[in-house]
Every structure is written in C-alpha cells, then in structure tokens.
Structure 1
C-alpha cells in the first residue's frame, strides 16, 4: 500500500478519525458496548458482562457513552425507579465496525502462536 492511497484524507478527517479511535479504544468502552449489543440493559447486567470493571468506573463510562451518543439511558418511573441502558444506532454501528479489527487481531494472534511454535 503506497502513501498515495491516503492522499484523499484531509487534516480535519484525520482529527475526526483520531477522536473516534480514542473513543472506541478507551478502556472498557468496547466491552460495555458489546455487552449492550448482546442484550445487557440493567447496570447489574453490564457489571456481570464486563469482567473486572468497578461499579464506579462502569457508572462513569456509561455516563460518558451516553454523552457521546453511543448509549441511551431510559428511566422508568416505577417504584423503585428502573434505569436501563441501550446502545444507540451509533453504538451498534461502532460495534459492527470494530468486528474487522477483532478478526484481524485473532488472525495476528494465531500467526504469532504459529511462529512461536515453529
């Protein structure tokens, strides 16, 4: 792949891409979005699905993902109040866009394992 393949990307698009990569790559964000894509809705379901995250950090990340438009928070006026978190269309799209990276990382790990055993 030559450098000319990337000449169509302007500086503003590069900054937007960098912001998107940092958002997607921030620790726990992908795991939280994946948990939501797999059906987690309640805080406890997210906590159970995201191994190793603290309640405080999960709460902060859910709030950040909501601000970034990747998670929607719904409050049901019941007693007690029921709060649920659902990935937005953008959140689900981000998870789908990350799938090729998952496949690439799996392939890379398999190649490294083969090279190590050779």
Structure 2
C-alpha cells in the first residue's frame, strides 16, 4: 500500500472518530430552544407624512387623475426642473415602459403642467 493511501485512510478515520465524539444538541433531537419568560414584542409608533396632497392650479385635473395613482404630489414636485421636451419624454416613459394607465387625451395637459411648475427657467 502506498504512503498516500495510508495517510488518506488515517485522516478519514480521524475525521470519523471526531464526528462521532461530537455532542448531540437538543436542536438535533427536535427540542426548540426555550424562550425567555421576560421577552416582549415592542410595537414602534411611526408618524408618516400626510399623503392626501394634490396638485393645484390650472391644468391640475389631468395630473391628479392620472399621476397620483402611482406617485405622490410631493414626490413629483420634488423632482429637478426639466425642459418641456424632457417632461414629455418622462411622461411617455411612464406610459411605454412602466405601463402607466394615462389617458392619451391628458398627455399634453400633464406635460404642460409639469413644464409650467417644474420646468427649467
């Protein structure tokens, strides 16, 4: 028998003996760990911002009826100012990429509102 086989066999025998000598824990026998008697769940209180804000002013009906289904008014109004062409591209991206259910007749009014209120100066 070659020396490599004897070393491999000896290592296997040592590993087997080591594994057999390992203590068996309660988890392996199906006994869950005991839960401390003093444990108590705590419910945090979270105050969220009011989400009923709507767009105001001329042309706001189109954006309120179409955009608030997915976006808050605050989120839209906190976007950086964009050109009218960029807002038009954003509105069309929402429709084509994200399948936003925007009424096609409202697209010009939405773009005009965004350009007037969040457009580049």
> TM-score, normalised on structure 1?
0.27
Q: Which has the higher strand share?
A: 1
Greater radius of gyration (CA): 2
TM-score, normalised by the number of residues in structure 2: 0.27
Larger RCO (alpha carbons 8 Å, 6+ apart): 2
